[in-house]
Structure 1
Amino acid sequence: MSESKIIIRDNLKESYQDVYTPEVLAALEVMADLNIEVKHLMDVRMRRRLERREKQKRIGFLDPETFIPGTQIKVKDAREGNFEGAVIPEDLKRQWIQGTGPGAKPNAPLENSIRNVAYALLSGADGWMFDGEDALGQIGTMSLDNQRNLKLAINRSPVFLKVAEEVAAQMNSWSQSFFGEGKIKDWRSQLDFTTKIFRARGLHLDDRHIRESNGNSFSASIADLTLYVTNNHQALAAAGASVVLYLPKIQTAEEAALWNKMITTLEQHLGLQEGTVKVYVLVEQLEATYQLMEIRAALGRHFVGFNTGRWDYINSVSDAMAWDMDFVNPNIESIGMTYGYMRNYEDRVRRAVNTPDINGNFALWQGGMEPNIPVGSEEGVDSSMKKAVAGAEREQKEGASGKWVAHWKMVHIVRPVWERVGEANQTGRKFPLLTYTQEDADGLILLEEAPRTIRGARNLISVALQYGNAFGQGMQAAALKPADFFGDDDVLYLMEDMATGEIRLSILWEWVHKAAVLTEDDMAAGIKKGNVFSLTLFNKLLEEEYGKLLKSSNKDVYDSSKTTTLPIAKAIAEVYVTEPTKAPWFIDLLNINLDNMDLGKAKERIGLYLRTLKERNQRITENLDFQVTS
């Protein structure tokens, strides 16, 4: 018997033998050979980022006469639709509302943890993206709990059915009070309504539980893809359901081609027809917007659609333009989907999905996230729900076939926007073909005048600290708002994930290192319009906002976190914003401190990360608490 290519830490192979089944372990052995290719492309990504900074280089379009790396498809052919794409399966043709969220809770027993899946599948959403990435906490074994819960739910285990019945009663009770009727008529049949979708972690992340046998870290993308598809493809097929993934953080068509290779390799190993696994791509990276048709072509028969998110995308624009002293974002509240570069990004996506492939197949466009939750004062809820519906109406009119919501309570509030129109989707709507001019390129980094204020800075700092703290507690998705609005029920908590903390620190980094000019007076802070946002000012506001969190109630900031994960979150935020060399990912610094409550150790790890970044242009992405000894 040959030696295994991978090592699973501690006794997890035994305690999660329902997840690490013999079939999964065999598939991981096959997929392990692709780990080196993931690492290579992540090195290429970092070199590209460094080159942009050193040469002050903007992202541009690919040469149409070249081949997409990793494929035999010419860029020109991809743009003209001369490639074979996917036929959209029946259970994806109508996706008016997709909910998003993790399928597990931190430090929770099974019957409590799996309630997340029950809420999702009883919500009435057309699809639910069970998150393995930005919304799923990673402390302990949460990534494995997530896989376990999804497998139990997809296979209709007794424990899941028991929980689902209880959850249905609770959901109907809320629905009765809010809508005047229970929305779940038959909870068992309701479980079959929602298409199950899984978001794997991005290529930039490593798994916390698996290493190569030589000690090298192991791609989280390979781990998530292999575990989810291997464990669930048979049960999904038996139910007549598709195997569907969301792929995050793709920057280039070359990376999409690697995902295609990974998926095809797994399909071949499992004896599945190529194209069995269907994928949406989250357009979360500026560079990807320059290569949309190339990404579609590279994923071929697997690709079904794009999603236009907000937070990750804004962060990628900020990071890609970090070298440009003239590129300074305004308050985050001003950067909606109709703002400058966001408007142009959305327009390119809708044009890309409505360009037919060689067989006349179009793709889907799923709109962005609605983070509101209908919990608060009557006036606050009414105002926020009107905004949520108006946002959905705008996306529907622009051509989206549906959108996301972050909480099950929002499904029946937003879904009627598409329900009233009645069309399953909007594929094939006529939009101008994509063009690749300098004007197009410039539009993707277009800034427009908008406020840049002390109030905006406080919001950026407060929310970033809270998300860093929530991450350390095992909640990458959390309902939060700036500390100044704690106790104000007219201002609703927004249900968002870690990306919203990421972009807030990116904008603060811009403001500090590019001498951002403030646009309004703030007498309380001693600031006048035209003053520069200095490092001294940032440090002052950081201390003030941190102090508010320390004094807040347990409802808003867990008391137990105030001496553990919150100080670490502050240390990370401070270093991220003040360091001249911008770290590529806030989440990197959080990941290397998972399950660590010691501030001294955290500072050592932060220092190690920054030295590695500066000296070798490399990130630290491995689990530092899992080392292989010879």
Structure 2
Amino acid sequence: MSSLPQGVHLTLPAPKGAEKILSTEALEFLAVLHRTFNARRLELLENRKKVQQELDSGKPLTFLPETKDIRDSPSWVCAPPARGLEDRRVEITGPTDRKMVINALNSGAKTFMADFEDSNSPTWSNMVLGQLNMHDAITRQIDFEVKGKAYKLSENPATLLIRPRGWHLDEPRLLIDGQPMSASLFDFGLYFYHNAAELIKRGSGPYFYLPKMEHHLEARLWNDAFCLSTSKLGVQQGCIRATVLIETLPAAFQMEEILYELREHSAGLNCGRWDYIFSFIKKQRAHKSCVFPDRTDVTMTVPFMNAYVQLLIQTCHKRKVAAMGGMSANIPIKNDKAANDKVNGKVTADKLREVTAGHDGTWVAHPGLIPVAMKVFDEHMKGPNQYHVRRDDVKVTDKQIADPSVPGKITEQGVRDNVSAALSYCAAWISGNGCVPINNLMEDAATAEIARVQLWQWVKYGSKTDSGKAITPSYLEPIFKEESAKVASIPGIDANHVKIASEYMLSQVKATWPSDFLTSDLMIHLEGVGVSGGSRKAAL
């Protein structure tokens, strides 16, 4: 077992077979990132609280007056597309387990976003073995066999990107100078340290998706981390490319500024639409006018979603980078052709809306939907992208971005669906699975987050179902009990984890304000969090 750098403390050892991922040298690199950037990260997180307080008091979000010159300037554009990112018409996403990685890279998608974030429960094993799987995929050593079936990479796998966790999350199994490390820098740093040089050698590069940002200064922090990392490891400056998910309401007002901060490393923006809905509700939590109907009614065509999409495409193409569309979470339905045809029709309509609006690519969650999405983009996007579609016709105002008008009803089934989705996902997440099939959809944390804050706001503002029933804790408690029993009966689900999820969700619907993220709240239930016994410590 390698020794630890001074000031570095692990609460758990490396999972078996992944010891090289947590080598002394890799941990030294992580310590440099932490000591250089963590104080700024914490300051930026405090700024999020300040913005939330201002929103609660009635101050509206708007385009920043102090960065108007950046938005108005026609002189800057972002870096040209890196090799493997010129054509991104269909991307597949999923967690970092070994089988998933091989299947996704072989899927026929243009790129694969390996997800350390919302579709990945951050158990220690998942996070460290996921890094091992990335390294083995890049060096073409990931082949393996299970139950007599061999899994092997194809000759031309999809281009690999990874999504580290957001700035708000800590990695509590790694303490540096007594502080938990940023989960973002942990995920980024290990991947970059072990793979950047090899990726460049193979004609690619370290490519990333960056989640959950709320301010352009958070993008600047990423950019500074990129610059320091390339300098520290002596690899080519500018080799990194990063696509930012616009999935928070504040970020929608700062798209150009985010691109500007990352312009030497930018690969575009993505419509992280499910998390965006969650953020829209959460950020405007103090306003009864922002109470939404059933989440199935919050579609891409409602005013605030349409405004956000149109502005994102216009912004990206103005700065000559990719404007990526959103996720189709549908799963093909086997043994029911009529139902499966209906799924394919929904996906086709969604992708047609995206490509005709000007998107340069889209996301799917299942390999079976790649041909469906690819067909639509092949028919309507003849070149590798649509940067030439400038969308100068778009004029989006701050009021349109924050427009809460969504037609629809709160139904008893919608309430029950939110309870069921939140319980199913949270129980699976605690069990170590962050990507869960629910009602023929492959769901990640965003769905549970929408369900959680909707239940909270319906209780907070005394909402009623369309049948006239008041949504109160006493109304929800028997529904939670019934749905908990159903979820606990699913094979492979731990009943104790369902109980934890139910108690957590009920505490949330009764809270004055909902917590920022359920992934932060539930982290305490994962291995090695808050554990001191049996840890490895540096000799002082």
TM-score by length of 2: 0.93
- The superposition leaves residues 491-545 of structure 1 with CA deviations (integer Å, 9 ceiling, x where unpaired) of xx21121111011111111111012243x33xxxxxx3xx432332222322232
The residue aligned with 1:10 is: 12
Identity of counterpart residues, as a percentage?
26
Q: Distance in 2 between the 1:241 and 1:90 partners?
A: 6
Over 3 Å counting, the alpha-carbon distance change for 1:298 and 1:455 in structure 2 is same
Q: SS where residue 85 of structure 2 aligns? A: helix
Deviations 1:128-168 (A, max 9, x none): 000011111222421001000110111011x5266799456
1-structure distance, mates of 2:474, 2:147: 52
Deviation at 1:40, TM superposition (A): 1.6
For the pair 1:500 / 2:427, whether they are aligned, the reply is: no
Q: CA deviation at 1:23?
A: 4.0
In structure 2, the residue matched to 1:21 is 23
Asked whether the 8 Å contact 2:305–2:401 carries over to 1, the reply is no
Shift of 1:13: 9.1
1:397 to 356, 360, 363: 356
Whole-angstrom distance in 1 between the partners of 2:116 and 2:412: 35
Q: What's 2:458 paired with?
A: 511
Alpha-carbon distance in 2 for matches of 1:248, 1:335: 21
Is the counterpart of residue 383 in structure 1 residue 342 in structure 2? yes
In the other structure, the counterpart of 1:100 is 93
Distance 1:274 1:342 in 2: 36
Q: Contact (CA 8 Å) 1:352, 1:434: kept in 2 or not?
A: no
Query: What are the superposed Cα offsets for residues 266-317 of structure 1, whole Å, 9 maximum, x if unpaired?
Result: 1111112332110000011000000000100011211111110221111100
3-state DSSP of counterpart to 2:167:
coil
Is 1:205 matched up with 2:152?
A: no
Residue 479 of structure 2: aligned partner: 541
Partner-residue secondary structure (3-state), 1:92: coil
What RMSD over aligned residues (CA atoms) do the two structures have, in Å?
2.4
Kindly indicate whether the alpha-carbon contact (under 8 Å) linking 1:115 and 1:163 is maintained by their aligned counterparts in 2. Answer: no
- Amino acid across the alignment from 1:16: A
Q: Is residue 199–residue 245 contact of structure 1 (8 Å, CA) maintained in 2?
A: yes
Give the letter for the 2:108 counterpart.
Answer: G
CA deviation after TM superposition for structure 1 residue 199, in Å? 0.3
> Partner of 1:30 in structure 2?
32
Q: 1:327 aligns with which of 263, 286, 290?
A: 290
Query: In structure 1, what is the Cα distance between the partners aligned to 2:423 and 2:156?
Result: 39
Unaligned runs of 5+ in 1: 67-73, 105-113, 169-186, 357-361, 482-492, 522-527, 597-622
Q: CA deviation at 1:127?
A: 0.2
SS of the aligned residue for 1:391 comes to helix
SS for the counterpart of 2:268 is strand
2:256 counterpart of 1:293: yes
Structure 2 runs not aligned, ≥5 long: none
**Which of the numbers 323, 326, 331 marks the counterpart of 1:365?**
323
CA distance in 2, matches of 1:100, 1:371: 10
Q: CA deviation at 1:227?
A: 0.6
Query: Corresponding residue for 2:404?
Result: 446
Q: 1:51, 1:164 → 2: CA distance?
A: 57
Cα distance, 1:287–1:434 mapped onto 2, change above 3 Å:
farther
- Who is 2:133 aligned against? 149
Tell me the residue number matched to 2:379: 420
Q: Are the structure 2 counterparts of residues 2 and 394 from structure 1 closer, same or farther at C-alpha, using a change threshold of 3 Å? A: closer
Alignment correspondent of 1:579: 511
Shift of 1:209: 2.3
Counterpart among 470, 477, 490 of residue 532 in structure 1: 470
- Name the CA distance, whole Å, in 2 between partners of 1:459 and 1:8: 40
1:261–1:75 CA distance, 2 compared to 1 (3 A): farther
Distance 1:209 1:500, change over 3 A: same
Q: Distance in 2 between matches of 1:3 and 1:138?
A: 24
What is the aligned counterpart of 1:160 among 115, 140, 143? 143
Instruction: Summarize the alignment of residues 6-85 of structure 1 with structure 2, pairs less than 5 Å apart.
Output: 6-12=8-14, 16-33=18-35, 34-53=37-56, 55-63=57-65, 66=66, 74-83=67-76, 85=78
Amino acid of the residue matched to residue 50 of structure 2?
Answer: R
Relative distance call for 1:2 and 1:467 in structure 2 (3 A) is closer
Secondary structure, in 3 states, of the residue corresponding to 1:90?
A: coil
1:23-82: per-residue Cα shift (whole Å, max 9, x none)? 4233223212211211121122123223322x232222211xx3xxxxxxx541244344
Aligned residue runs from structure 1 range 90-489, under 5 A: 90-104=83-97, 114-157=98-141, 159-160=142-143, 166=149, 190-213=154-177, 215-356=178-319, 362-376=320-334, 377-421=336-380, 422-432=382-392, 439-481=397-439
Give the whole-Å Cα distance in 2 for the aligned partners of 1:586 and 1:29.
Answer: 27
> Do the aligned partners of 1:23 and 1:230 also contact (CA within 8 Å) in 2?
no
For 2:49 and 2:531, the matched residues in 1 are separated by: 24
Distance 2:212 2:286 in 1: 21
Distance 1:75 1:24, change over 3 A: farther
Please give the alpha-carbon distance, in whole angstroms, between the structure 2 residues aligned to 1:586 and 1:28.
26
Letter of the structure 1 residue corresponding to residue 43 of structure 2: H
Distance 1:3 1:424, change over 3 A: closer
- Counterpart AA for 2:476: F
Change in CA separation of 1:101 and 1:3 when aligned onto 2, cut-off 3 Å:
closer
Letter in 1 for 2:453: S
The one-letter amino acid of 2:508's match is: Y
| Letter of the 2:391 counterpart | F
CA distance in 2, matches of 1:167, 1:344: 47
Note closer, same or farther for the CA distance 1:445–1:587 as it changes in structure 2 (3 Å cut).
farther
The one-letter amino acid of 1:103's match is T
The amino acid that maps onto 2:365 is: A
Which residue type is aligned with residue 85 of structure 1?
C
Q: Distance in 2 between matches of 1:286 and 1:191?
A: 41
Question: Counterpart of 1:537 in structure 2: which amino acid?
Answer: Y
Q: State the match for 1:489 in structure 2.
A: none
Q: Report what 1:182 is aligned to.
A: none
- Tell whether the 8 Å contact from 2:96 to 2:115 is kept in structure 1 after alignment: yes
- CA gap of 1:478–1:162, structure 2 versus 1, over 3 A, is same
Q: TM-score, normalised by structure 1?
A: 0.80
CA 1:417/1:167 → structure 2, altered by over 3 Å: closer, same or farther?
farther
Q: How many equivalent residue pairs?
A: 531
SS at match of 1:99: strand
Which residue identity does 1:579 align to in structure 2? Answer: A
Q: Measure, in 1, the Cα distance between the counterparts of 2:525 and 2:144.
A: 36
Please report how far the alpha carbon of residue 448 of structure 1 lies from its aligned counterpart in structure 2 after TM superposition: 2.4
Aligned counterparts of 2:438 and 2:267: Cα–Cα separation in 1: 33
Shift in CA distance, 587/546, structure 1 to aligned 2, threshold 3 Å: same
Find the aligned partners of 1:473 and 1:6 in 2 and give their Cα distance: 28
Distance 2:7 2:71 in 1: 36
Q: Find the aligned partners of 1:316 and 1:7 in 2 and give their Cα distance.
A: 34
C-alpha distance in structure 2 between counterparts of 1:27 and 1:75, whole Å? 37
CA deviation after TM superposition for structure 1 residue 122, in Å:
0.8
CA contact (8 A) 2:173 2:180 kept: no
CA distance in 2: counterparts of 1:378 and 1:2, whole angstroms: 57
